[in-house]
């Protein structure tokens, strides 16, 4: 959506100081056929026609008419505008229907066709340094590493130093991050009891470690993607992790099934944790499954490894004070 928004701005010449601006609904009205008409006359004509109120009925438009809200709020106001990639037209009332967004001059320069190869990468790096925070830069780096890892087999290094290969794909990339990043950050003395993937149900299993904590691993029990254990506390903590690249978070039903498996191994509810791991909080997988997540579970994002989200389950009686949760 962000890429298409930038494309429409370039298409109509909506660049800072050029005098042309874009409305979010113009992005929804673009079509593949129109995008292929790149001569100046066609672009200028579409720029004028796409702002008319009688052009809602567009065949094969890129987005439905009501998609203008997420383009306006998430893509522009909370995204490209905040980063300095897009500027807003000054002097327009908030409720004005007139076009108000344009690419900033420095960001627009990145799309100069003359830029290529090392020159383009250098220009991108300079823009990032100028406009992205340290945290945002780290997030970009992590996501880029994940994209590279998707191209070949994924090597996972376990807490005990052993390594295993997983098949390429987004789920494997997230699983690797859980083992190498999450476990070390959030567990005192981590261990991996079970690691699986969609193509190969069992990538690694540590039966000796499982036996130590009293867990009998049965692959046909519909186990989660990962089972971690923290041997640091007086009583070991069992951590069930679901990796979500498309679907399958720790839902209430899934949580109940995993509680049963843990109970059979002698673990109480306080000795069991549930984590759903995603690539990024802007990812469609998270947005599409957040409503299914179970209370008393955690969410962890590969792109922001130092943070964790807690779905806190309130007390059965009385009121929970926000001050108690801080």
* Domain locations in the chain as residue ranges: 2-109, 154-325
The pLDDT value recorded for residue 54 is: 63
The answer to whether the CB of 279 falls within 8 A of the CB of 143 is: yes
Does pLDDT of 106 surpass 60?
yes
Residue 325, burial from CB neighbour count under 10 angstroms (0-12, 13-18, 19+): exposed
Residue 175's pLDDT is what? 92
pLDDT of residue 55: 58
The CATH H-level superfamily of 154-325 is BsuBI/PstI restriction endonuclease, C-terminal domain (3.40.1350.80)
Rounded to whole angstroms, what are the CA distances from 276 to 211, 241, 300, 320?
Answer: 25, 6, 6, 24
pTM: 0.64
238-263 pLDDT tens trace: 999 999 987 789 999 999 989 988 89
pLDDT the model gives residue 198: 61
Mean pLDDT, residues 118-123 taken together = 93
Q: 193-197, 256-260, 322-326: lowest mean pLDDT where? A: 322-326
């Amino acid at each position: 959506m962000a890429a298409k928004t930038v494309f429409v701005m370039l298409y109509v010449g909506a660049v800072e100081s050029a005098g042309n601006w874009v409305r979010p609904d113009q992005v929804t009205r673009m079509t593949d056929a129109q995008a292929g008409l790149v001569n100046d006359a066609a672009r200028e004509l579409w720029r004028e026609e796409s702002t008319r109120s009688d052009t809602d009925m567009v065949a094969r438009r890129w987005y439905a008419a009501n998609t203008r809200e997420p383009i306006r709020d998430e893509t522009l106001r909370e995204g490209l505008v905040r980063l300095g990639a897009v500027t807003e037209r000054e002097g327009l009332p908030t409720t004005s229907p007139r076009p108000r967004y344009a690419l900033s001059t420095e960001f627009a320069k990145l799309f100069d066709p003359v830029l290529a190869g090392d020159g383009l990468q250098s220009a991108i790096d300079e823009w990032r340094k100028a406009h992205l925070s340290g945290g945002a830069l780290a997030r970009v780096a992590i996501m880029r590493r994940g994209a590279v890892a998707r191209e070949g087999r994924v090597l996972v290094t376990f807490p005990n130093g052993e390594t295993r290969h997983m098949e390429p794909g987004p789920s494997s990339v997230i699983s690797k991050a859980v083992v190498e990043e999450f476990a070390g950050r959030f567990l005192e003395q981590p261990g991996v009891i079970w690691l699986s993937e969609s193509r190969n149900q069992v990538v690694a299993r540590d039966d000796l470690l499982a036996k130590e904590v009293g867990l009998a691993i049965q692959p046909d029990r519909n186990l989660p993607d990962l089972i971690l254990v923290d041997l640091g506390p007086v009583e070991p903590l069992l951590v069930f992790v679901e990796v979500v690249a498309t679907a399958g978070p720790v839902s209430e039903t899934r949580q109940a099934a995993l509680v049963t498996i843990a109970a059979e191994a002698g673990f109480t509810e306080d000795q069991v944790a549930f984590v759903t791991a995603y690539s990024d909080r802007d990812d469609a997988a998270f947005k599409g499954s957040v409503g299914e997540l179970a209370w008393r579970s955690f969410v962890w994002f590969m792109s922001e490894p130092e943070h964790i989200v807690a779905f806190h389950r309130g007390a059965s009686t009385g009121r929970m004070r926000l001050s108690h949760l801080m």
